[in-house]
Amino acid sequence: MRGSKAEASTRCKNCSAVLHGRFCSACGQKVYTDKDDSVYGMAKEALHFITHFEGKFLTTLKTIFGNPGQLSLDHANGIRQRYYKPISLYLMLVVLYLVFPMFQGLNMHMTTYERTFLGGTFTAIIEGKASIRGVSVDEIGERFDEKSRTTSKVLLLMLIPLTAPILRVLLGRGRKWYHDLVLATEVNAFYLLVFYLIAPLVVGLVITITGVQFQDEAMAIAFVGFFAAYGAVLLHRIQRGPWWRSAMKGTALAVMHTAMLMFVYKPLLFLATMALL
């Protein structure tokens, strides 16, 4: 019979499973040694966290920009360890937008909603709210703009379930919903990074340096065109076939995603923000 001391050293201290190798096969905890529990071990751990996080993070960003669709494809095929999890990346972007208020994201002033296609309905809701609260429409506008700074960012999470059905229409029903959700996460991470982080910075810089003003319509068309090209490459990687078909599907993705933002996401954002006033 083995001694209790020898027994304890071959079992995981976290979950008591029998150990084989340097990590517990049941809970994943590392088998720590005296070397780990030292100043050297702590420094190594810190360095490991930084380099590892950075390495994975950069690999993920490089893949999203350089090979659209590859992150989702690899995720579906079980290649995951080298990347940052798509949903974690997306959540990090949402937190980034919450922490840095200069990134407007999809934040719109209340008065902007009144100029959209549902403007009349929005105005009626605003006036109804003002009379219920017994304050002026301007007062409601101020409260709305204050509140929407947070809601417009937290609700960015809704973009994932709202984009997945679009991808399902374009890629067919043979796929698992889960894979459409992962692909939707990748698409929206790219979308937020490009259109709400990089593009505003670049456009702002060009305007500052050259003094050239861009027409809103021209910019909108350029953005949708760029998104269509991205969509074509993305969908072609997921579903091989003739390029003309990928190009058409990419265009459909850009148009449907833009329509989803205008006709579903923004009205939802308006109603959610209004309900919280």
Q: Where does this chain bind Zn ion (CB under 5 A)? A: 12, 14-15, 17, 24, 26-27, 29
Between CA 114 and CA 105 the distance in angstroms is 19
Residue 125 buriedness (CB in 10 A; 0-12 / 13-18 / 19+): middle
CB of residue 161 to Zn ion, shortest distance in Å: 35
Q: Which is nearer to Zn ion, 26 or 58 (CB)?
A: 26
> By C-beta, is 27 or 262 nearer to Zn ion?
27
Tell me the closest approach of the beta carbon of residue 6 to Zn ion, in angstroms.
Answer: 18
- Least Å distance, CB 31 to Zn ion, is 9
What whole-number distance in Å separates Cα of residue 191 and Cα of residue 24?
39
Smallest distance, Å, CB 26 to Zn ion?
4
Q: Which residue lies nearer to Zn ion by CB, 15 or 259?
A: 15
| Residue 134 Rama label (left phi>0; alpha psi -120 to 50; beta) | left
Residues whose CB falls within 8 Å of the CB of residue 121, separated by 6 or more in sequence, listed in order: none
Q: Which is nearer to Zn ion, 27 or 271 (CB)?
A: 27
Helices (H), 155-198: 159-171, 177-193
